[in-house]
Amino acid sequence: MRADAKKNYDHLLEVGRELVAEQGADASMRDVARRAGVGIGTLYRHFPTREALLEALLRNSFDQLTAKAGGLETSDSPGEALVSWLRETVAIAHSHRGVIASMTAAIADPDSALHDSCMTMRASGTRLLARAQAEGKARADIDGADLFALLGALAWINDQPSLRSRADHLFGVIASAILVQGVSADD
Amino acid sequence: MRADAKKNYDHLLEVGRELVAEQGADASMRDVARRAGVGIGTLYRHFPTREALLEALLRNSFDQLTAKAGGLETSDSPGEALVSWLRETVAIAHSHRGVIASMTAAIADPDSALHDSCMTMRASGTRLLARAQAEGKARADIDGADLFALLGALAWINDQPSLRSRADHLFGVIASAILVQGVSADD
DNA sequence: ACCTGAACACCGTTCAAGT
DNA sequence: ACCTGAACACCGTTCAAGT
């Protein structure tokens, strides 16, 4: 990439992050270009779709998440590990308000720029879920796709201003549905 | 209302219902006017905001829901009554794809055309929840606003095409979090 | 009373013309 | 290679002019 192009790319990313933080994942593409001081065509040259921009914005956070999941996979408390990963994932989605809908759609669309990241992210969660299930700490009747959906539901609640104040409490409610509750016979 | 105006009103409502069923609650207002064969100004005269149109569309369903809640309030199985009401409410929201976000915002905005209907709806749910809690059938640490948020989360899941196939299963998962699980000491 | 549609201020996205 | 911004096809919403 030419030096001037790289400078534009980096600046667009920086401005994109600002605007998504301020206005959510559906912020105006024109505003991004405008605030970055480049032509709208330059934005589209670097990020041909909104998903491409979001993917670039999320990459760091997703990599962190993958690293965290890796560490948690050897934790000796698989139930807590799962919940801890869930909590961080919800927080990342919420820090890009509204992005959860794109992520959910991307899972079903191999052509989306967000597809690979989201599949990797979901796979991390699936492994943590499977470990918790293997040790009887998570209910057995859900799979990784269900976990992703519940994560989406929690992110959605977080994203609604009028529900935000209850989001942490509701995280606990849904987490309690994922974790096995009762004392099992062989405890 | 003049006869010609009433005719326009009714037709706009009919077309609005069609379009929202086809394209969701964020269907183009212009499209509604276009398909109804009236000027865009006529649509805005009858429904000054999108919320006003949605409110008119939802009124029948909400009234049904209120009636159903009334009947369920004397049911001898308050846990099942709550779940049954929840299921129908989620279905109504889903039959107006995307409307749950407007409903959630309307709860916090007394000026929204949807505010009153949504408050009434939430109050119905709150009464069913309170009854279930009084009989120890629902967890005690949630209130009507939490129930509404969980309902929103379920409606959101239903509205995502890629999650739709798991929505019924996840309804069960979240319902199980609302209902009290274990066998309590005094059973 | 009510209806109409031009007008305004926006979008997302593309692409010919420039450097 | 890369950048620019006019152009196209849309929005939601308002309001002067008509019937």
Give A171→chain B minimum CA distance, Å.
10
Q: What per-residue confidence (pLDDT) applies to B183? A: 40
Listed in sequence order, the residues at least 6 apart from A31 whose beta carbon sits closer than 8 Å to its beta carbon are: A19, A23
Q: How far is CA B56 from CA B21, B33, B148, in A?
A: 14, 16, 21
Architecture of the structural domain at B50-178: Orthogonal Bundle (1.10)
Q: How confident is the model at residue A166 (pLDDT cuts 50, 70, 90)?
A: very high
A17-44: average pLDDT: 98
Residue A95 has pLDDT above 90, yes or no: yes
- Mean of the per-residue pLDDT values for chain B? 95
Backbone angles phi, psi at A58, to 5 degrees: -85, -15
Q: Give the SS3 label for residue B59.
A: helix
The residue among B172, B175, B169, B24 whose CA lies nearest residue A101 is B24
Report which residue type is found at A38: V
Work out the end-to-end distance of chain A between its first and last CA atoms, rounded to an integer number of angstroms.
Answer: 60
B52-64: average pLDDT: 96
Residue B134 has pLDDT above 90, yes or no: yes
Query: How many Å does it take to go from CA A41 to C1' D7?
Result: 13
Q: Where along chain A do the CATH 1.10.10.60 domains lie?
A: 1-48
Listed in sequence order, the residues at least 6 apart from A66 whose beta carbon sits closer than 8 Å to its beta carbon are: A120, A121, A124
Work out the end-to-end distance of chain B between its first and last CA atoms, rounded to an integer number of angstroms.
Answer: 60
For every residue of chain A, DSSP letters joined together read --HHHHHHHHHHHHHHHHHHHHH-TT--HHHHHHHHTS-HHHHHHH-SSHHHHHHHHHHHHHHHHHHHHHHHTT-S-HHHHHHHHHHHHHHHHHTTTTHHHHHHHHHT-TTSTTHHHHHHHHHHHHHHHHHHHHTT-B-TT--HHHHHHHHHHHHHHHHSTTTGGGHHHHHHHHHHHHB--SPPTT-
pLDDT tens digit string along A97-132? 999 999 999 999 999 999 999 999 999 999 999 999
Query: How many Å does it take to go from CA A41 to C1' D8?
Result: 15
Residue A182 has pLDDT above 90, yes or no: no
* Cβ contact A90:A172 at 8 Å: no
Of the candidates B105, B150, B182, the beta carbon closest to that of A170 is on B150
Report which residue type is found at A146: D
For CA atoms A91, A92, A93, A96, the dihedral sign is positive
* Cβ contact A180:A139 at 8 Å: yes
**CA-CA-CA-CA torsion for A68, A71, A73, A79, nearest 10 degrees?**
-70
Q: What per-residue confidence (pLDDT) applies to B180? A: 87
Q: What per-residue confidence (pLDDT) applies to A139? A: 98
Between CA B79 and CA B149 the distance in angstroms is 18
The answer to whether the Cβ–Cβ distance between A149 and B166 falls below 8 Å is yes
* Cβ contact B79:B137 at 8 Å: yes
Query: How many Å does it take to go from CA B27 to C1' D10?
Result: 13
A50-75: average pLDDT: 96
Q: Which residues of B touch A (CB under 8 A)?
A: 101, 104-105, 107-108, 139, 141-142, 145-146, 149-150, 152-154, 156-157, 160-163, 166, 169-170, 173-174, 176-178, 181-182
Q: What per-residue confidence (pLDDT) applies to A186? A: 43
Residue B171 has pLDDT above 80, yes or no: yes
Residue A185 has pLDDT above 70, yes or no: no
Is the domain spanning A1-48 CATH 1.10.10.60? The answer is: yes
Residue A187 has pLDDT above 80, yes or no: no
Residue B105 has pLDDT above 70, yes or no: yes
B8-25: average pLDDT: 98
Q: Give the SS3 label for residue B179.
A: strand
Q: What per-residue confidence (pLDDT) applies to B181? A: 66
DSSP letter, residue B138: B
Q: Where along chain A do the CATH 1.10.357.10 domains lie?
A: 50-178
B163-177: average pLDDT: 98
- Mean of the per-residue pLDDT values for chain A? 95
